[in-house]
Structure 1
Amino acid sequence: MRVLVTGANGFLGRHVVAALLARGVEVRAMVRPATRVDTLGWSPAVDIVRADLRSSRDLAEAFRDVDVLVHLAAVVSGGEDAQFAGTVGGTERLLDVMAATACRRLVLCSSFSVYDYTSTRNVLDESSPLQQTPEVYSRGGYTVAKWWQERVTRRYADQLGWELTVLRPGFIWGRDHGYLAALGQQIGRHHVVIGPLTRIPMTHVENCADVFALAATDARAIGQTLNIVDGPGEQVWSYLTDYMRGTGARGLRLPIPYLLGSAAVRLAFATVFRRATKVPAILTPTKFDAMLKPLRFDNSKLRQTLGWTPPLDYQQCLARTYGPVSTATATEIEMPASWSPDAAAALRARR
């Protein structure tokens, strides 16, 4: 099996490449023409193709002899127009080219951001309501782009009869990506912690990558939409403690009950910021809910559909994220039973 991975040099992408290699899969990694790959630690087995989703040029060659596309690429920086053009326009160009090839299987990286947190009650799972127009446009450029990206991809798959799997990760964390929007509002060194007992829908980048590798290689994933979280999630206060301890950050933490914070934000939005054209995300009710609303999360559908359990538990994830980079050896790493004998080498490369 050969798998094409877009966004392969990104935070999630480089771990997905390693996870696929660990399962004995041939990997073709798509990166932009100017990307430096010598610092990524990839083995010579990775077939690197240079192409830019802003142009259709070179995309056809990327699909040569490819069985599965794992589409991770998205624009997460810049203005809202740039995010939409890069994420949605790039996806349309990619899928237009795929339609002319023999590849008929696709795994899409969507996002928890497509859910309507304001309407969701108690538990957020795959059956929870999605954002709809026009309300989705109040959520910001990233949400709008991911929402449209998923819609566009589903339309192509339905029309062309492709085998589609949609994976929606929660907050992806890992080394150099430990701070999460769900932690509240940082003011200098200090933190305003809204809803300190609220649980965060978290997935460590290595666990998340393992799901993508499994979904690309397991036929049970075809036709499924699956949320990716490692479990019920850590409480905001608890994880912030671990984050500050792990990074050596110092500062005060001010806990504020969620209901009090939500009421204050909604009052301010209806009065002080009523005519404002730009309001900080945390002071916009829909964005506030998406970051901080206390809900329950589980991965029961993922577990039941694919038989998946996280390769790394929370303490191991903390060590991967905040511990010394070079202390772990291959013999110290507990590897998932499904991984090939080359898994330790691939894991060393991505550390």
Structure 2
Amino acid sequence: MKVLVTGASGFLGSHIVDACVRAGDEIRVLVRKGSDVSHLQTVPGIEFAYGDLRDIASLRTAADGIDVVHHSAARVTDKGSRSQFREENVLGTWRLMEAARSAGARRFVFISSPSALMGVRDGDRLGINESEPYPPRYLNLYSETKAAAERLVLAADRPDFTTVALRPRAVWGPRDHSGFMPRLLAKMMTGGLPDLSGGKPVYASLCHCDNAVEAAIRAARSDGVGGRAYFIADPEPVEVWSTLADLAERFGGVPPVKRVPLGILRAAAFATDMVWELPPLARRWSPPLSRYSLALLTRSATYDISAARRDLGGPVVDHEAGMARLTAWINSIGGVDAYVRKVQQS
């Protein structure tokens, strides 16, 4: 197949490109001018299309002759105003989908997120499946706009244009310099990460990058997936704080020990979120703390992946194998100190 990959210069998008190569696809990538394409330039036979999700003309050019779109690009930072998030995550997805459909593409694989279901008042949620409804109020703009984009994608499913949404949770693995795991590891290397568990276990479904991209490749080829969303995760959930302690031990960092009262943190996160609703502030800086970032570390969130196992096949990498791959990659780029420097620069 001839595929278009958006977000290809990013962490997950670059792994989707690699997986498409292994699957024998012809690959075109949509990247912004000025993006870091150093990895993509090592991929033989790749075709570059330069453009932007805000530029419909560039999207039409990128989609010309394409069979399948893997849409991984999104505003995932916690910096930005409501209009910026809507422009990139919602309208950008709609423009790309319209360009793909008009150009004759047959399938649109949307990289969504379980964050599309994160509500303000949620507590611990264990083993939820795809019947879980969207919340009435979202935890942040990222959650709100990913949900809106996902709804657009699923509603666009037609017999001649299959749409499917994948919800990988907390994607991790080699080449990630800005996700949750590298940022937390960087803090632990300096002893700067407190224990926010509140003295209770916090369980989470994670998703190794190889499990996410395998689901994407199969979603581009599987029958019966049209108009559906799927949770994608590693075979078993982990306990967050013991996993972080293991990560610190593995790389010589300082595990989280000092506990901070959650009530104080929640009040601070709420106040920060209120202040960061001011567009001039939101556009320029990321908040030092948010209810969303706090929820990721203090709320249990695990997902039932039986639907994905049934329709897309099971995950291919378990946690231990994934950690071994991550360790080997970190060692290959000069060790944990070089890794942390790269994280701090991103």
1:231–1:298: 8 Å Cα contact kept in structure 2? no
Q: Which residue matches 2:280? A: none
**Cα distance change on mapping 1:305 and 1:32 into 2, 3 Å:** same
Q: Which residue matches 2:30? A: 30
**Cα distance change on mapping 1:70 and 1:265 into 2, 3 Å:** same
Aligned-partner Cα distance in 2 for 1:219–1:303: 14
Q: Which residue matches 1:218? A: 222
Q: Which runs of 5+ in 1 are unaligned?
A: 329-351
Q: After alignment, is 21-30 or 238-247 more displaced?
A: 238-247
1:265–1:283: 8 Å Cα contact kept in structure 2? no
**Cα distance change on mapping 1:273 and 1:142 into 2, 3 Å:** closer
Letter in 1 for 2:102: A
1:30–1:48: 8 Å Cα contact kept in structure 2? yes
**Cα distance change on mapping 1:225 and 1:120 into 2, 3 Å:** farther
Aligned-partner Cα distance in 2 for 1:114–1:291: 17
User: Is it true that 1:91 corresponds to 2:83 in the alignment?
Assistant: no
1:178–1:321: 8 Å Cα contact kept in structure 2? no
Q: After alignment, is 202-211 or 82-91 more displaced?
A: 82-91
1:57 is paired with a residue of what secondary structure? helix
Q: Percent identity?
A: 28
Q: Which residue matches 1:18? A: 18
1:120–1:129: 8 Å Cα contact kept in structure 2? no
**Cα distance change on mapping 1:52 and 1:277 into 2, 3 Å:** closer
2:5 is paired with a residue of what secondary structure? strand
Q: What is the TM-score normalised by the length of structure 2?
A: 0.78
Q: Which residue matches 2:311? A: 305
1:194 is paired with a residue of what secondary structure? coil
Deviation at 1:269, TM superposition (A): 7.6
Letter in 1 for 2:275: T
The number of residue pairs the alignment matches comes to 314
Q: Which residue matches 1:337? A: none
User: Is it true that 1:315 corresponds to 2:326 in the alignment?
Assistant: no
Q: Which residue matches 1:277? A: 275
Letter in 2 for 1:59: L
Deviation at 1:327, TM superposition (A): 6.1
Larger helix proportion of the pair: 2
Q: Which residue matches 2:210? A: 206
2:204 is paired with a residue of what secondary structure? coil
Letter in 2 for 1:32: R
Deviation at 1:246, TM superposition (A): 3.7
Letter in 2 for 1:305: D
Aligned-partner Cα distance in 2 for 1:121–1:33: 41
Letter in 1 for 2:127: V
1:316 is paired with a residue of what secondary structure? helix
Q: Which runs of 5+ in 2 are unaligned?
A: 278-286, 334-346
**Cα distance change on mapping 1:255 and 1:119 into 2, 3 Å:** closer
Letter in 2 for 1:105: R
Q: Which residue matches 1:48? A: 48
Q: After alignment, is 122-131 or 46-55 more displaced?
A: 122-131
**Cα distance change on mapping 1:294 and 1:120 into 2, 3 Å:** closer
Letter in 2 for 1:240: L
Aligned-partner Cα distance in 2 for 1:18–1:275: 38
The match for 1:105 among 104, 107, 115 is 107
Aligned-partner Cα distance in 1 for 2:272–2:253: 36
2:195–2:258: 8 Å Cα contact kept in structure 1? yes
Letter in 1 for 2:35: T
Query: CA RMSD for the aligned pairs?
Result: 3.4
Deviation at 1:237, TM superposition (A): 2.2
Show CA shifts across 1:241-282 (max 9, x none). 2221344322551357xxx84x6666x489x95995359786
Aligned-partner Cα distance in 2 for 1:161–1:85: 27
1:171–1:201: 8 Å Cα contact kept in structure 2? yes
